[in-house]
Structure 1
Amino acid sequence: MTSDPLDLLALDDELSRSERDTRDRVRALVDEHVRPHVGRWYADGVFPLDLVPRLAEAGLLGMHLQGHGCAGRSAVEYGLAMAELEAGDSGIRTFVSVQGSLAMSAIAKHGSPEQQDRWLPRMAAGDAVGCFALTEPTAGSDPAAMRTTATRVGDEWVLSGRKRWIGLASIADVAVVWARTSDEGADDGRGGAGRVRGFLVPTSTPGFTATPIEPKLSLRASVQCDVVLDDVRLPADAILPHHPGLAGPFACLDEARYGIAWGASGAARDCLDAALRHAGDRVQFGRPLAAFQLTQAKLVDMALEVARAQLLALRLGRLKDAGRLEAHMISAGKLANVRSAIEVARSARTVLGGDGITLEHSPMRHAANLESVRTYEGTDEVHTLILGRHLTGHQAFR
């Protein structure tokens, strides 16, 4: 019998020593530097910028990337780290995802050697923050409908448009902006006009404005912004030279979605832990809540969902490390694990009773955060249709 009730199926046995060490190291970081403060951060609606150097020192920024000061860890180690960060708070895991899986991955996958040398070492060290500007006010689940344009004028690109729900934009040093190239002006020689291309935009560039979206009821210990690009002028070499088209941002989104599948399992585990501890300590009608049948039924249902989410995340990680992970598999993980985590959070809150609505306990905070997580990087509906397309061969998006 496993001695850890949170490890229902003894999944520790499936992890290598290096993987367990990574998990335990990130868990200790969260216990020391996140848990004591996250309730206040959430209540005040602030992201703790002083946490960034600690995340960098732990090798968590771009930790799955190779070279340029990145840790180069395995997909499973990266996933385990995301689970521990989200057990602390979705907002903290979101920072690491946006920085590493979106902004840094875009530069690593699609950038020139000069762009990589300029930005990746600084971002891995936490000396520069990046954001990933894809979503628009009228183009959320349908990025092909984006209206932001990039026009070649002489030796410059001129970007105009609006983006919405852009994580970290107001604290970022560089934005990876996706825009549709205009028919005006010369082409860059690597793709036709009208294609979606990525651009590196230093946020100090005139015409770039990022405004935090407030008030929010979710992801309060995080930053999401409206971005305006008002004739932002960039040098010709600001364009990411590789992979024109939507395949560029989608490759980065898959990296983030993979991390979310792990992160959601961590949030669910933290909710189960909170419910178990409370049920063991809280005495009603002369005995602890944990001794009542209805409470045990809730705890069992939660434990099964947590174990299933952990198994699914680990399977995705092993496939990714083997080079066999496909997009529909990532959709399955993101859809199933976030859906399960929300139900676990809600059930855990009921075990906590009235105390469960306070920030002293994590489940209601997790439940609110997970409503954002289920929406970004592909809604439930989008991932359902991705899986439907895989099963039937029919495209049902349009």
Structure 2
Amino acid sequence: MTTTKRAVRRAVMAALAMVLVPLWTAPAGAADTGAAGAGTITRISLAADRDIPRGETVDLLQRTMTLAAGEKRHLRGRLEATSTTTGIVGLTLRVRCINAAGATVPVVAASARNHEGSDTTTYAIPGHLPLYADLLLSAPTAGAYTCVLQGTAYSSLPGTYHLTAVAGSTWLEADDTDQTGARWWQNPACESADPSGACTYVGGGPARRDAWVFYDDGTPVQQWQAHPSAVTVSARANVELTTCYQGTASCSEAMQAYPRGQNAVVDTRFEFIQLDTTGHACRTHSTSARRTVTDDAHHSVGYSALSGIPIDSACGTRTFLMRVYVKHVSGQTVKIDGVQSGITSLTNGIAFNEFP
């Protein structure tokens, strides 16, 4: 990377913040009708590349479903994006569902990360940044619900450029049948700039050294009852982390200890715990990962999943608890993102029943 390019990136990153505004634009037509997968899931894929101009939110794919009151559907979206610039451009993926009156139901699931440029070689496919988001739609009333996959690009870079959603690799999946008894978790409110100091941080200085997502955030711990007919269960969690380098607009100023370029390393452990009759752990199922979050990427989502978990009758209950352990290892202080603008969830989890 040339000295000029590094200087431009540093200047842009100092001003760049993840902006997640809960706006709604008229849904676009589905780009591809798709085909039912495995008899229970329909995937709709983007048929042709679609540009995402700077400062715009673009509706990429949609599916409309007619649901009974209380019916639940799991939606999973993937946005793979390329860039026409070697500079850094923010990217946000959203999965949003609206009712017939145009109101968002119940929340917007989002993931965000900076696209580090068309010359980036650290992605699985050079220059191609993939993001995923999961949403559990629970219909409050009977009716039609339209779910949309959206992409937003944002940057203070000068000039003309855009991101592009890649055909085929950008898709929206939705269940074709009810996810009976499934449950949604989300992190508490945490605005981008965190002016009120509501967010949870792990790192040095005034930050905590570690934290438990969904468990010690000051809100009541949520427990989940597996369905009486379920034989096994599964769970997933998406945890968004943001590095707090000096000058960023995405963290409280008190948490900005180092200049940009320090990066951050954290250890995470996703746990789904079956409790005993005293409310203590009986069987703990977990998966761990060490994650590096660079200051160029700035935001990074960790996707964790556990499936085929047996329900142990010896525990005496069918009660489960979900939590994610996040421990700072080195580098920048890291913010654990939550709900922005009261509606957009960046860190969330879902538990599912699995029936014979």
Whether TM exceeds 0.5 here: the answer is no
Report the TM-score, using the length of structure 1 for normalisation: 0.27
Report the TM-score, using the length of structure 2 for normalisation: 0.29
Which has the higher relative contact order, 1 or 2, with Cα contacts under 8 A spaced 6 or more apart? 2
Instruction: Say which structure is richer in helix.
Output: 1
Instruction: Say which structure is richer in strand.
Output: 2
